[in-house]
Amino acid sequence: MSSAIDSFLAMLAAERGAAANTLAAYRRDLEGSEEVAGDLVAATKDDLAKLSRVWSDLAPATVARKISALRQFYGFCLEEVLRADDPSTALPRPQTRRPLPKILSHDEVEALFRQAESEAETGRAPALRMLALLELLYGSGLRATELVGLPVSAVPRDAPFLTVTGKGGQQRMVPVSRRAQAALARWLEVRASNSAFLFPSRKSHLTRIRLYQLVKSLAGRAGIDPARVSPHVLRHAFATHLLEGGADLRVLQTLLGHADIATTQIYTHVDSARLVALVNERHPLAGTRGRG
């Protein structure tokens, strides 16, 4: 493996605050490219052209991600004078469309909560934990990684907010509803652990994989196809339903922790008719007649 990859990843972490998952994905893509094209620092355009043939059966979004990693790597090589040219121009430019997020209806979300609340009535710790997890996924729109890594100190005391550390180590405040506060309080009463994490495990904290399994299992018990439900789908539902309710896109961007509002704009597909009606009803000139 080229030592330049390590240097590139160190730069991403130090200068751009790239998250651990992002760094791992870049490493996989770059090391996989080296297996085909050889040492990336010395690779020629012809070497990189081999990658297109190897990637021919991959999804366009996957190819686009790999190409992005290589282009950024070669930009780094130019800046560090590791080479004088950029061979990544030999790579294709696949046209990709951001996929629309999976959506749960209001009725399906209510079914999930009915099931979780019914099970929580038993007072059993796993059921109370599940309800708290569900409230924070749908009620605050947390990413799975953000949720499982929450420290106990993040739980609000006097203010209805959580302090969340998101991608790139960026912190933001997210609101916690009265329902979520109540669910958290019930969970903390039965949480038998001295761990610094809100949702501890034997070694550290609840893993993303375990959270994924818990959410799908709850969906099955609630009569919803588990294939349609995941922690990220609940985050999408949070954003979609807020936008339907009239939330401002900039506010939604802040709540979701998106660095670029273009990422948030994908949710505008959910209710375009409502947005048109909003302009027609609320625009300052909506009530005026056209001038002849």
pTM: 0.58
pLDDT at 291 > cutoff 50: no
**CA pair distance 229, 226, nearest whole angstrom:** 5
What are residue 207's phi and psi, to 5 degrees? -85, 160
Residues 255, 111 share a domain = yes
Residue with token string 């972490």: 13
Q: Which of 39-48, 108-117, 133-142 has the lowest mean pLDDT?
A: 133-142
Residues 153, 48 share a domain = no
Is 18 part of a structural domain of the chain?
yes
Give the three-state DSSP class for 69. helix
Upper half-sphere CA count for residue 147 (Cβ side, 13 Å): 30
Mean pLDDT of 47-67: 86
Residues 112, 247 share a domain = yes
Residue with token string 């040492």: 39
Which pLDDT score is estimated for 181? 87
CB 110 within 8 A of CB 89: no
pLDDT digit string (tens) for 60-114? 778 888 888 899 999 999 988 899 999 988 887 765 555 555 678 889 999 999 9
Mean pLDDT of 114-126: 94
Q: Which of 11, 21, 279, 7 is nearest to 166 (CA)?
A: 21
pLDDT at 217 > cutoff 90: yes
Residues 68, 123 share a domain = no
Query: 13 is in which domain, residue-wise?
Result: 3-90
Which pLDDT score is estimated for 29? 92
Residues 250, 134 share a domain = yes
Mean pLDDT of 142-157: 83
**Any idea which residues carry the catalytic annotation?**
143, 167, 232, 235, 258, 267
Give the burial class of 286: count Cβ atoms within 10 A of its Cβ; 0-12 exposed, 13-18 middle, 19 or more buried.
exposed
